[in-house]
Amino acid sequence: MSNGTAIAVRDIKGKPGEVVRGFVEIGETPMGPIQFPVVIVRGAQPGATLCLTAGVHATEYPGIDAVLKTVATTDPQTLCGTLIAVPVVNQIMFQTRTGFTNPIDGLNLNRAAPGQADGTISQVLAHTLLTEVIAQADAHIDCHGGDLGEELWPYAGYVLTGSADQDKMGEAMVRLYTPRIFALYQDDTALPATGGSVTATASRQGTVSILAEAGSDGTLRPADTEHHLRGIRNVMRYLGMIDGDPEPCPDPLRARGQFIVSARRGGLVRLEIEIGQELVAGQKVADIVDVFGDVVEEVVTPEAGIARLIWTHKAINTGDPVVKCWRAEPAEPFTL
């Protein structure tokens, strides 16, 4: 909860009613610094501190766009609390248009947390982001989407910590963010936490941190940006930072597990489903066609589910994934 004292990320210091911005340097290449941008929007009135990050995977553009638009449209004179935003976390991936892993050290930043101060550049970045930025916030939203080669159905997720108050807030945030389905991850269940993720680490360190996913395959579609903008606004209303009542999804689904449907033959993929489609057991997902035009495999789903991620590659090898599906059920009633 922010009060009248300044909030600072290194030399980027915001006082009530101010918007300040700058760069945090974490290392260097032979040609210059490696850094990330920070914007602090300090409300004139006290309130919660919310951190927004995007570009952990820096070809997932709708989240980046939504954070930029949120910063641009948030008035510090009417804001209660503080918004700390990092619109593009991973500079090198952003400027090289690289998906998934940092080309300098080959690491996936969202598997590198908590990082280390004297590690490789991704480890230093994870450590700096968590200890110097996210740790100052009461709540955190990490904006993602489908990376290169991935078509994704929007969702939000939170890692349960065992703290009743923190977990209730985390569940509220994902219910308010998602347009339909949310996941509550927990170790030793069908939905375990992802090791090394930024949100899991932040939540376990005391900041209520959620994963927010919308967008696909290196695109920047207005509808995907709007999914993020709606979710961010809803969370800000829930935290009392802006006027208005939060609006949860009217018919939410809770994810209970997931499974992957893969091909056993190689060839060209002729997909027969769409993202977000509800599938029944035994339903055909795709035909695999060889280079002579013969169908060599009908790929079918072994069980019912909802298509949550479709790999967009059309040339496929034995064992390559075709679609990942949610196992889901209607969510239980919940009071914000």
pLDDT of 147-171, one tens digit each?
Answer: 999 999 999 999 999 999 999 999 9
Percent of the chain with pLDDT over 70: 99
CATH number for the domain including 188?
3.40.630.10
In a domain, 100, yes or no: yes
Q: Does residue 336 belong to any structural domain of this protein? A: no
Taken as a whole, the chain contains a residue count of 336
User: Assign residue 206 a region: left if phi > 0, alpha if psi is -120 to 50, beta otherwise?
Assistant: left
C-beta neighbour count of 335 within 10 angstroms: 5
- Give yes or no for a contact between 85 and 67, defined as CB atoms under 8 angstroms apart: yes
* 268 and 123 fall within a common domain: no
Mean pLDDT of the chain: 96
User: Are 276 and 219 members of one domain?
Assistant: no
Beta strands 208-213 and 155-159 are antiparallel
- How do residues 70-117 score in pLDDT, each as one tens digit? 999 999 999 999 999 999 999 999 999 999 999 999 999 999 999 999
Q: Is the CA virtual torsion 228, 234, 240, 243 positive or negative?
A: positive
Q: Please write the tens of the pLDDT for every residue from 38-71.
A: 999 999 999 999 999 999 999 999 999 999 999 9
Q: Residue 104: exposed, middle, or buried by beta-carbon count in 10 A (0-12, 13-18, 19+)?
A: middle
pLDDT(270) > 80 = yes
Question: What residue type is assigned to position 203 of the chain?
Answer: S
**What type of residue is 329?**
E
Average pLDDT over residues 184-189: 96
User: 216 with 148: CB under 8 angstroms?
Assistant: no
Residue 243 falls inside a structural domain: no
Residues 176 and 322 in one domain: no
Nearest CA to 143 among 217, 74, 57, 79?
57
Say if 229 falls within a structural domain: yes
Token pair of 218 as six digits: 């290196």
DSSP character at residue 9: E
Task: Please say which residue of 238, 264, 283 terminates a domain.
Answer: 238
Cα 126 to chain centroid, rounded: 15
Domain enclosing residue 325, as ranges: 253-330
Task: Indicate the pLDDT class of residue 5, thresholds 50, 70 and 90.
Answer: low
